Chains A and B, each alone.
Chain A
């Protein structure tokens, strides 16, 4: 038992555990829509485009979170706008936009002397989460989850049958934009935990594993959430005892769950 309790005696570890659980829960629930609507690429892109926002905020001494939120939401709306005019295919537009924004972020970083601060942005720094950050993460998670619950029936319908949705007067493109904004918020909150580079793993991997285990949407969300929260906690303990990067450990725990789910799914058929 002591091996379990010892890390908990540190305040910053308790904060980190809470952050991992909250972020995992939010990303996994939203991630189910990301996986079912085949938006995994967009999730990854949103994480990368947040980088210049964070850097600009850092250089000006603003709140890093705020910078990431603004960049993420702008990108989310920009993608929606791009996909409406069909001059360029959507995945192409995203590919151009996200690499360009990421390069801009890296360029801005290289103008600053100390690169060390930014390695936290790239790979996460969950042990550096302050109680104030945790508060902010909780508020964002509550907002995202409440929105998901309130608009569940419309999000579900537009995901599998946009024609019927449009025919009864639901604007499917607006719900998509809503989902993109929620995605931007979730991505920004998970940057603290696993960093820009690994954020899409929290969105996609638990949901993908859950989609192999069940064919019921609410169950899928619950399973994805359990996998993400469990991986967050397990990953932190692993990183504490093995002295390895916490973000990478969390992501690899999710990946291991996906591997188990895949084996189970394959054996069952």
Chain B
């Protein structure tokens, strides 16, 4: 273990600023590549560590864009984003991003186990192969999400719910402080939904943060701590989840 490591990002293991919020966004604007109109305009938002935040709003409101900027997948065009007090890219290993299922090539010849193992790559960096500990962590997460019998399957042979659980297992294997989940409840079975919700509750107990974009408004008060509604790229409402039901009916 004494080998020199070459991390994917030079600032990968920078220490988090003590007491800093999980996410602090000020005046953020961002545009999708190939488009002229900004997808989000001057958003300001502060999310404390240990909070489960639901991002809601119609399609095109900017939910995915906001998640991608926080994950470092899209550049911020204006404003400032801090994750655990560091600029984006300062803590790749602390942030796990779950893409929408459509962004992955599910026909690629790779097994579920190896997919989950890619969650360890942030800690390995260039040239190092996953070790025994990495396999152990990946297998534990596969077990935890009820996928043990499917570990050897090619990822395209899994159902939509199983694929979503595999992605969550990978995010857990990364041992990240913050999870960014883009539409994890989209077209999944009730069991998978329950598993994801249980994992989020467990993460909260460990003081970890989750930001989840969703269209599924029914159980927001039970499953989340805070609801941020986006509309046309701006924050339309930002309330504790328990108060959310009232706003839906008022609107």
Contact = CB atoms under 8 A, between A and B. Distances in A.
A163 B73 contact: yes
B153 to A, nearest CB: 9
Interface in B62-113: 71-73, 89, 92-93, 95-97, 99, 103-106, 108-111
Given A167-B73, A168-B121, A159 B154 contact: no
B59 interface: no
Nearest to A151: B126
Given A150-B127, A153-B129, A168 B122 contact: yes
A211 B121 contact: no
Interface stretch (A6-14, A73-81, A191-199, A215-223): A215-223
Given A86-B33, A168-B93, A169-B8, A160 B71 contact: no
A156 B97 CA distance: 18
Contacts of A211: 109
B9 interface: yes
Contacts of B34: 86
A222 to B, nearest CB: 12
A117 interface: no
Nearest to B128: A153
A216 B92 contact: no
Nearest to A32: B109
Interface in B131-178: 154-155, 170, 174
A145 interface: no
A153 B121 contact: yes
Contacts of B99: 161, 163-164
A163 B74 CA distance: 10
B108 A159 contact: yes
A167 B72 contact: yes
Nearest to B129: A153
B182 to A, nearest CB: 9
Contacts of A170: 8, 121
User: Main secondary structure on chain B at its contact with chain A?
Assistant: loop
Q: Which interface class (under 10, 10 to 19, 20 to 34, 35 or more) fits A?
A: 20 to 34
Nearest to B12: A169
Nearest to B97: A167
Interface residues of B, number: 37
Given A86-B34, A157-B118, A217-B110, A167 B105 contact: no
Contacts of B115: 161
A166 interface: yes
A153 B123 CA distance: 13
B95 A156 contact: no
Contacts of B93: 168
Interface in B3-25: 7-9, 12
A166 B73 CA distance: 6
B109 A220 contact: yes
A36 B109 contact: yes
B97 A163 contact: yes
A99 interface: no
Interface in A127-185: 150-151, 153-154, 156-157, 159-164, 166-170
Contacts of B126: 151, 154
Contacts of B97: 163-164, 167
18 contacts: A150-B127, A153-B118, A153-B129, A154-B126, A156-B110, A157-B121, A160-B104, A161-B103, A161-B104, A163-B104, A164-B170, A167-B97, A168-B9, A169-B72, A169-B92, A169-B122, A211-B109, A215-B154
Interface of B: 7-9, 12, 33-34, 71-73, 89, 92-93, 95-97, 99, 103-106, 108-111, 115, 118, 121-122, 124, 126-127, 129-130, 154-155, 170, 174
List the 3 shortest-distance A-B pairs measured between CB atoms, nearest first. Answer: A169-B9, A169-B8, A160-B108
